[in-house]
A and B are shown apart, each in its own frame.
Chain A
Amino acid sequence: MSATSSAFPLPASGRVPLTLRVFAALDRKAWIALAVFLALALVVVPVLHLTVPESSTFHVSAYAITLIGKIMCYALVAVAMDLIWGYGGILSLGHGLFFALGGYAFGMYLMRQIGRDGSYGADLPDFMVFLDWKELPWFWLGSDHFGWAALLALAVPAVVAFVFGYFAFRSRIKGVYFSIITQALTYAAMLLFFRNETGFGGNNGFTDFKRILGHGITSPEMRLVLFGLTALTLAATLVFAAWLVKSKFGRVLTAIRDAESRVMFIGYNPLWYKLTIWVISAVLCGIAGALYVPQVGIINPSEMSPANSIEIAIWVAVGGRGTLIGPVIGAFVVNLAKSWFTVSFPEYWLFFLGLLFIVVTLMLPQGLVGLWKKIIARKGAAA
């Protein structure tokens, strides 16, 4: 909580422009790390993918780009989860819902972009033809416009989160009560999306995408554009989150986490603070979902399963909650382990994941970042 050395010397008080405050949110090291990350994602990876021949060890394969792009989306979700859990003390077990809503919203656009190239060669998406529907349901109107779909990917998670959050926080549902109710929420939504009549492709969801803005979705260039966009979004989100948690808003938020009644009695209404961070978190998940779907090429209701949502929490816990880099590290570690396990020892993945849940909560309450800090501190003390 104490002031860290910021990249720019700021006056301790007085009027300071917002842009400078945002710059001050990260220290010099963090800005350098962020710049290195962006250079890798926007320059090095594209060059290695496009110009280095496949036979070379330096070639970055399409598989690797998709995998890393996917994990960056997860990292974005993990940061969103950390804002609400690590800083707000509210454990959501339903964040997969907002991720999926963003994915579905953008997926509608991708379905419309298929045009007549579907199996039935019809104007309507294949699953609607299959259901013998004659025209688009009302909520599909406008989904052929990129801008509208992008707006929906932000607005739908925001509205759902606002409505649910307003009632939940207003009635002061907290702790495990809140967690379980969010789990019920995503579970109910999953059941709803499984129904064919709901109008989102039922079990199969959306897949077989062809293009975005008229460009082929599987072309190397599009893959790199999506990859770079994801990296940029992740970087921007980290800067935004750093500013948020360093602002007075962030301090009120952690105060609510630690002593909510005290916060109320000094005149803050926790409802609006919680609701704000809750909606921000949901929107970030929606963005992640919208970036995830074109890269992975499929979205279906299983993204809303309670197991998926609770896994997000373990990414954050593994990395270290209450820090911003922790969730990113956690998302990468757990998901890389997952892709290795599911190829090499598929039977043991759940044992490993289960143990991870137990070991991290029992022995690593501050996650890998906390462990790292401890090691550094011990070295410092020894030296």
Chain B
Amino acid sequence: MKKPLLPALLPFLLWLTSLSALAAPDPALVRQLAADDNADKIAAIQQLTAAAEPGTARLLQAMADDSLFVAGDRLFIFDGEHGFDAVSGSAADLPEGADSVTVNNRLRGELSNALAALKLFDADRNARLNATRELQSNVGPELADVLGKARAQEQDAEIKLLLDLAYAQATLQDSDPAVRLAAVQTLADAPTPAIRSLLLPLTEASAESDDKVRAAAVDAIKHIERSLAWGDTLAGIFSGLSLGSILLLAALGLAITYGVMGIINMAHGELLMIGAYSAYAVQSLFRAWAPDYVDWYLPAAIPVAFFAAALVGVVMERTVIRWLYGRTLETLLATWGLSLILIQAARVLFGAQNVEVANPSWMSGGVELLPNLILPWNRVIIIGFALFVLFLVWVLMNKTRLGMFVRAVTQNRAMAGCVGVPTARIDTMAFALGAGIAGLGGVALSQISNVGPDMGQGYIVDSFMVVVVGGVGQLAGAVWAALGLGIFSKLLEGWAGAVIAKIMILVAIIVFIQKRPQGIFALKGRFADQ
């Protein structure tokens, strides 16, 4: 267990040593660190920390690193090469037969708190900030004094706020009811589950004798629970949005092909899979040829995935789907056959196991909005990406000639053909577009879920449900349905579990279709049911 201190810490140690001439920890307390009884040791640590003399930090750090030795009634610090006297800090040779001061887990906890408390007086703002962050949980009353001292000195508003919270935690058990009341009131603004459980005992008469404090604790818990509930709900909505954006990417392509050709492409999920494997392939290429830029493989994968999936889509349309025009149920079966072939091809090419597609470093981590609400960057970026793709599709469908043709064929194929729309070419292009969008969805999916040959299978039903609920050929319908289904199923999941949620969604959709057979945004009129 003996680890030499990191060389990087040496300048800091030297600085501490230079201070040691001015003041030093109480020698009696230092000796007590090597006491037989753990309780005595803890008492010594707490008192040394409360005094906060220079040199204490070094001493305790040594103890935490198992570098504190005892020989008779003298203690030494030994950093692997040199020995120092534990009280004065001046160089001293370690005597033969010196024993390491034993430190158990409980002591280690004490020590790390104590060290953090001592760093509260560091000149460096970041060091202080980190130390206060470390002291946001498990703060015992023993730290009250030192926290109070640090709070009085602190100028930085952010750190001061955190110190207030830590101080409040430390003074929750104070003998003065007024102090306790102030502490409870401060903590009411810190909505974390940990604070809640900390305050919980104070609501009981057996633990808290003062009525006012008790009432304040009850209020504080209510307040915290309200905030927590908000956080949970927001977290549910956010993960629903994130699921919804994936569904949207999967369903947009399906909505276009279903709208234009009236067919369900059961291999649509496999187009997602192709997009995800494209991301994997591009990542592998970057790792092999441009390891320095590997973080940027993802933007490069986007066009690759789009064109790979679009190409497969064109081949599917030209070789199979075109020949089944008007026979929708047969198309369902034939495209299922295509999906089996694509899955098996992926198994043969890439192996049956899932492959690893890593988040680029700029996508890892997240932003913390509430103590129980952290938005991971990869999901935030995927939502943004889905909106971006949606915008592109909207522009394409509403502002270009191709889009006009596609809409024309969706509404009345025969008439569109009569007025000179090349319906066969529009079919191919619409199919390529739908496939390409699915490929983009695959890239997004590769960032948040496993990439394997079967990954597309789970999405065909869900994305078709989006099309059903949204209404055929309706971009806006697909958007609302995707987000609605995503959020609804995530909220239900939190409440009833994933399986029951899935079943409830299915039942809800069947009930919904009873009321609105044509979806949210229905095409009405004489052509609607033809």
Binding site for B on A (CB under 8 A): 85, 91, 93, 164, 167-168, 170-173, 175-177, 179-181, 183-185, 187-188, 191-192, 194-195, 306-307, 310, 313-314, 317, 347, 350-351, 353-358, 360-362, 365
- 25 A-B pairs with C-beta separation under 8 A: A167-B510, A171-B514, A173-B517, A175-B328, A175-B329, A176-B328, A176-B332, A180-B465, A181-B468, A184-B465, A187-B461, A188-B499, A191-B498, A192-B499, A192-B503, A194-B499, A313-B333, A347-B348, A350-B341, A353-B337, A354-B340, A355-B337, A357-B334, A358-B334, A362-B334
Check if A177 sits within 8 Å of B468, measured CB to CB.
Answer: yes
B138 at interface by CB-CB < 8 Å? no
Check if B330 sits within 8 Å of A183, measured CB to CB.
Answer: no
Binding site for A on B (CB under 8 A): 263-264, 320, 323-324, 327-334, 336-341, 343-344, 347-348, 457, 461, 464-465, 468, 498-499, 502-503, 506, 509-511, 513-514, 517
Which residue of B328, B334, B344, B510 is within 8 Å of A181 (Cβ)?
B510
Q: B324 — which chain A residues lie within 8 A by C-beta?
A: 361-362
Q: How far is the CB of A317 from chain B (nearest CB, A)?
A: 6
Check if B341 sits within 8 Å of A184, measured CB to CB.
Answer: no
8 cross-chain pairs, A with B, having the tightest CB-CB distances, nearest first? A357-B337, A354-B340, A354-B341, A350-B344, A354-B337, A361-B334, A361-B330, A358-B337
The answer for the CA separation of A167 and B510 in the assembled complex, in Å, is: 8
Q: B327 — which chain A residues lie within 8 A by C-beta?
A: 361, 365
Check if B513 sits within 8 Å of A176, measured CB to CB.
Answer: no
Check if B320 sits within 8 Å of A358, measured CB to CB.
Answer: yes
Q: A192 — which chain B residues lie within 8 A by C-beta?
A: 499, 503
Q: Which residue of A lies closest to B263 (CB)?
A: A176
Which residue of A184, A191, A307 is within 8 Å of B499 (Cβ)?
A191
Check if B333 sits within 8 Å of A180, measured CB to CB.
Answer: no
The answer for the CA separation of A164 and B513 in the assembled complex, in Å, is: 13
The answer for the CA separation of A172 and B510 in the assembled complex, in Å, is: 11
Residue of B264, B340, B348 with most partner-chain A CB within 10 A: B340
The answer for the CA separation of A183 and B343 in the assembled complex, in Å, is: 19
Known: A171-B514, A358-B320. A188 touches B337 (CB 8 A): no
Q: B328 — which chain A residues lie within 8 A by C-beta?
A: 175-176
Check if A171 sits within 8 Å of B340, measured CB to CB.
Answer: no
Q: A362 — which chain B residues lie within 8 A by C-beta?
A: 320, 323-324, 334
Check if B329 sits within 8 Å of A179, measured CB to CB.
Answer: yes
Q: B331 — which chain A residues lie within 8 A by C-beta?
A: 361
The answer for the CA separation of A285 and B514 in the assembled complex, in Å, is: 27
Q: How far is the CB of B136 from chain A (nearest CB, A)?
A: 38
The answer for the CA separation of A307 and B338 in the assembled complex, in Å, is: 13
Known: A180-B461, A195-B499, A362-B323. A173 touches B337 (CB 8 A): no
The answer for the CA separation of A360 and B264 in the assembled complex, in Å, is: 18
Q: Which residue of B lies closest to A172 (CB)?
A: B517
Check if B514 sits within 8 Å of A170, measured CB to CB.
Answer: yes
Residue of B264, B338, B461 with most partner-chain A CB within 10 A: B461
Q: Which residue of B lies closest to A185 (CB)?
A: B506
Q: How far is the CB of B471 from chain A (nearest CB, A)?
A: 12
Check if B338 sits within 8 Å of A354, measured CB to CB.
Answer: yes
Q: Which residue of B lies closest to A365 (CB)?
A: B330
Q: B517 — which chain A residues lie within 8 A by C-beta?
A: 171-173
Which residue of B333, B465, B506, B510 is within 8 Å of A361 (Cβ)?
B333
Knowing that A306-B457, A361-B334 touch, tell me 8 more A-B residue pairs with CB under 8 angstroms: A167-B514, A176-B263, A187-B461, A317-B333, A350-B341, A350-B344, A361-B331, A365-B330
The answer for the CA separation of A97 and B421 in the assembled complex, in Å, is: 44
Check if A314 sits within 8 Å of B333, measured CB to CB.
Answer: yes
Q: How far is the CB of B339 from chain A (nearest CB, A)?
A: 8
Check if A188 sits within 8 Å of B264, measured CB to CB.
Answer: no
Check if A168 sits within 8 Å of B320, measured CB to CB.
Answer: no
Q: B320 — which chain A residues lie within 8 A by C-beta?
A: 358, 362
The answer for the CA separation of A268 and B461 in the assembled complex, in Å, is: 33
The answer for the CA separation of A194 and B513 in the assembled complex, in Å, is: 28
The answer for the CA separation of A13 and B510 in the assembled complex, in Å, is: 44
Q: How far is the CB of A173 from chain B (nearest CB, A)?
A: 6
Check if B332 sits within 8 Å of A179, measured CB to CB.
Answer: yes
Check if B338 sits within 8 Å of A358, measured CB to CB.
Answer: yes
Q: Which residue of B lies closest to A313 (CB)?
A: B333
The answer for the CA separation of A268 and B327 in the assembled complex, in Å, is: 26
Q: A168 — which chain B residues lie within 8 A by C-beta?
A: 510
The answer for the CA separation of A310 and B461 in the assembled complex, in Å, is: 13
Which residue of A91, A167, A188, A306 is within 8 Å of B503 (Cβ)?
A188
Q: B502 — which chain A residues lie within 8 A by C-beta?
A: 188, 191
Q: B499 — which chain A residues lie within 8 A by C-beta?
A: 188, 191-192, 194-195
